[in-house]
A and B are shown apart, each in its own frame.
Chain A
Amino acid sequence: DTAVSQTPKYLVTQMGNDKSIKCEQNLGHDTMYWYKQDSKKFLKIMFSYNNKELIINETVPNRFSPKSPDKAHLNLHINSLELGDSAVYFCASSQGDREGSPLHFGNGTRLTVT
């Protein structure tokens, strides 16, 4: 069984559209994350979220918003997509209150904005 799953795997859309990427984890973790990996393969934290707080990387545009219907899901909504949003987006989870708890990643969603 896949521990962290993301859908869709590929997403091609036009500038200005609004899109969502879904993420689910079945590990019972209390903290989930979204990362962006750009064309240079640099993996950058966007959000971390548990049932207590949302921590937002200050460089993330407010067009990006995480939505968590429950502890096992953290979806990423993106409004007014721009060319520069093209990247691979990774969801991850961990047991946030356990120091050193490793991150478990999904296999990514490749977003292409045309």
Chain B
Amino acid sequence: SQKIEQNSEALNIQEGKTATLTCNYTNYSPAYLQWYRQDPGRGPVFLLLIRENEKEKRKERLKVTFDTTLKQSLFHITASQPADSATYLCAPRTGGADGLTFGKGTHLIIQP
């Protein structure tokens, strides 16, 4: 069966450092992969999409990589700030209109 694995334990990073979150998937061949941010009491918010033919995507301090051989995506936040503290969810997608399947998320804590 399809499986998405994220480090669901809290990840503590010191302010100013780069935070790196991992998303591994099995029994998938996703056409693209999306990353979302979720704050307590709020719904997930879309951050970035990366397609299978793209190795890397950037948006401001965010960078996503996609390795279809390793079946892995890495999500980086550079110059991290306490305001970046949240849960980050990955969602590999094979296409279609049947909704995204999300990983359990990684709870990121940026300590001042």
Contact = CB atoms under 8 A, between A and B. Distances in A.
A contact residues, range: 20 to 34
Given A41-B87, A99-B32, A100-B51, A105 B101 contact: no
Contact of A33 (B45, B93, B99, B104): B99
A70 B66 CA distance: 38
B32 A100 contact: yes
Contacts of A50: 97
A90 B43 contact: yes
Interface in B14-40: 31-32, 34, 36
A48 B44 contact: no
A103 interface: yes
Interface in B44-58: 44-46, 49, 51
A46 B101 CA distance: 10
A31 B96 CA distance: 11
Interface of A: 4, 31, 33, 35, 40-45, 47-48, 50, 53, 55, 90, 92, 96-97, 99-100, 102-108
